[in-house]
């Protein structure tokens, strides 16, 4: 809508607000006296025959005016509240303030008192005996057919997106119910929900670039956390045997359909267990949540069928990489692997912005090969297991396979849904791994982990054998809501500010 047209509509709506005040209505009342939501009335009277009426059942409803149709001496309006929509019917002969309806605009909040009945066309309606304007919408709603067509506009003005598109609202209601079910499962298993710092002196627990901020009173730079891991492990050292946290992480990285710099994770740590104990927990959790919210453990995401029924396939990281790429060398032989990449990997894989992949850090070699050859081809859900030690600095070495760690990632439709380890609890080995990460940082890898002396000191008090799990809340919500982008399940995704 052109700015001039918007300005004129806003002026007209302000005039309408003034007219309502002149008729004795408060411009913005302090509260509403609504007694029923739209869904309450539909649950109670839905399905009743045309002409049915309940004159001895007074109700008060309130909602945003989504449609308004004046027909001589009667007017129909559709009110939308948090639960749904209900129609209201106004008769001139029954309402002293009937003419004030001319000053009600689409988008206004309106309270209606009356009694329910069913129209000749079968629509449940409230026959108004009184009405009260609650809030004036000074801006017009989007076109009721086109809505907010531009995706970025939808994300930037989510409040309008929610009021005009029921599917958007349902996606976020589904996400909320999903989190409640996950929280309930961990509570039932005896986990304690905790909170750990968002501002950290050393951002650890993952390979990622952090956001940095300055604390004035302490005159020190701190970082928004990139992971929940290292503080949760301190709690296991302190004696909690099962803890979890659902919270925000922040990573200074790019944007894509499955990446937002601010996102939600669940992390859980379980003393006395290993990564094998977590696989049945994860696959059962996902299947139960999907079944509870959709009625079936099988769902469709963007036309692809996903069956969450346990057990999920177990996929060997190195074996799958060799099979998918046609690699004829041992992927754990670093020299042979680099030579293979130089000779056989496609140009799009073998080179990076920083130069030839085969000359870069070995963890980047594994990551790029996996991202190209393996992950996009896994429909899943499945567990990718036993990753190279070089890309897993916080995981315990595999008890039977040299060169790999006890780790798995749940994967579906080419997306990592989480991460799990048998946690490394040897402080001497952990220091050695941190030092190797610091060497990568010195070589220019800004995402490599920093050496965290405070965490190592905590680990030196002794952490029992522990299984650790991280699950991406946003990506799971994407699958449940059948939406193509992570931005469709984050209420206010990060956007570049608009000019002006």
Residuewise pLDDT in 10s, the chain (500 residues): 577 888 999 999 999 999 999 999 999 999 999 999 999 999 999 889 999 999 999 999 999 999 999 998 999 999 999 999 999 999 999 999 999 999 999 999 999 999 999 999 999 999 999 999 999 999 999 876 566 778 888 999 999 999 999 999 999 999 999 999 999 999 999 999 999 999 999 999 999 999 999 999 999 999 999 999 999 999 999 999 999 999 999 999 999 999 999 999 999 999 999 999 999 999 999 999 999 999 999 999 999 999 999 999 999 999 999 999 999 999 999 999 999 999 999 998 999 988 999 999 999 999 999 999 999 999 989 999 999 999 999 999 999 999 999 999 999 999 999 999 999 999 999 999 999 999 999 988 888 999 999 999 999 999 999 999 999 999 999 999 999 999 999 999 999 998 75
DSSP 492: S
Q: How far is CA 16 from CA 4, 10, 20, 25, 252, in A?
A: 19, 10, 6, 12, 47
Per DSSP (E only), the strands in 25-140 are 59-71, 74-81, 84-91, 109-118, 124-135
DSSP 499: P
Torsional sign, CA 325, 444, 451, 267: negative
Distance, in Å, from the CA atom of 68 to the CA atom of 133, rounded to the nearest integer, reads: 14
Helix axes 275-294, 166-188, angle to 10 degrees: 140
């Amino acid at each position: 809508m052109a700015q001039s047209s918007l300005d004129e509509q806003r002026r007209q709506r302000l005039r309408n607000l003034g007219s309502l005040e002149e008729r004795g209505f408060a411009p913005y009342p302090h509260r509403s006296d609504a007694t029923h939501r739209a869904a309450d009335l539909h649950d109670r009277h839905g399905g009743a025959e045309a002409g049915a009426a309940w004159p001895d059942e007074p109700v008060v409803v309130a909602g945003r005016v989504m449609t308004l149709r004046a027909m001589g001496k009667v007017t129909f309006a559709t009110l939308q509240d948090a639960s749904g929509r209900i129609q209201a019917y106004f008769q001139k002969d029954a309402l002293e303030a009937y003419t004030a309806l001319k000053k009600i605009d689409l988008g206004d909040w309106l309270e209606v008192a009356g009694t329910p009945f069913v129209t000749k066309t079968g629509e449940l309606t409230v026959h108004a005996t009184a009405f009260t304007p609650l809030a004036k919408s000074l801006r017009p709603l989007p076109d009721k057919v086109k809505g907010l067509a531009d995706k970025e506009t939808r994300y930037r003005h989510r409040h309008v997106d929610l009021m005009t598109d029921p599917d958007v609202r349902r996606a976020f209601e589904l996400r909320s119910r999903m989190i409640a079910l996950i929280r309930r499962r961990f509570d039932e298993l005896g986990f304690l929900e905790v909170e750990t710092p968002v501002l950290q002196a050393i951002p650890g627990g993952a390979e990622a670039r952090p956001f940095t901020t300055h604390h004035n009173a302490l005159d020190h730079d701190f970082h928004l956390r990139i992971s929940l891991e290292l503080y949760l492990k301190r709690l296991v050292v302190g004696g909690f045997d099962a803890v979890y946290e659902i919270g925000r992480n922040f990573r200074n990285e790019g944007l894509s359909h499955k990446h937002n710099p601010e996102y939600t994770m669940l992390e859980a740590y379980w003393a006395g267990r290993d990564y094998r104990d977590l696989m049945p927990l994860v696959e059962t959790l996902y299947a139960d949540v999907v079944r509870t919210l959709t009625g079936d453990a099988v769902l469709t995401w963007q036309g692809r069928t996903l069956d969450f029924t346990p057990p999920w396939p177990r996929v060997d990281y190195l074996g799958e990489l060799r099979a998918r790429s046609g690699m004829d060398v041992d992927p754990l032989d670093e020299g042979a692997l680099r030579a293979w990449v130089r000779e056989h990997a496609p140009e799009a894989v073998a080179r990076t912005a920083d130069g030839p992949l085969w000359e870069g850090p070995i963890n980047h070699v594994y990551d790029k090969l996996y991202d190209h050859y393996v992950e996009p081809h896994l429909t899943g859900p499945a567990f990718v297991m036993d990753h190279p030690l070089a890309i897993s600095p916080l995981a315990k070495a595999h008890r039977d396979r040299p060169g790999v760690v006890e780790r798995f990632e749940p994967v579906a439709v080419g997306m990592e849904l989480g991460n799990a380890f048998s946690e490394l609890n040897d402080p001497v080995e952990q220091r050695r791994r941190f030092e190797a990460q610091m060497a990568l940082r010195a070589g220019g890898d800004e995402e490599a982990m920093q050496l965290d002396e405070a965490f190592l000191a905590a680990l030196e008090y002794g952490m029992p054998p522990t299984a650790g799990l991280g699950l991406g809340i946003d990506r799971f919500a994407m699958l449940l809501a059948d939406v193509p982008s992570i931005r469709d399940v984050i209420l206010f995704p990060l956007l570049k500010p608009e000019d002006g």
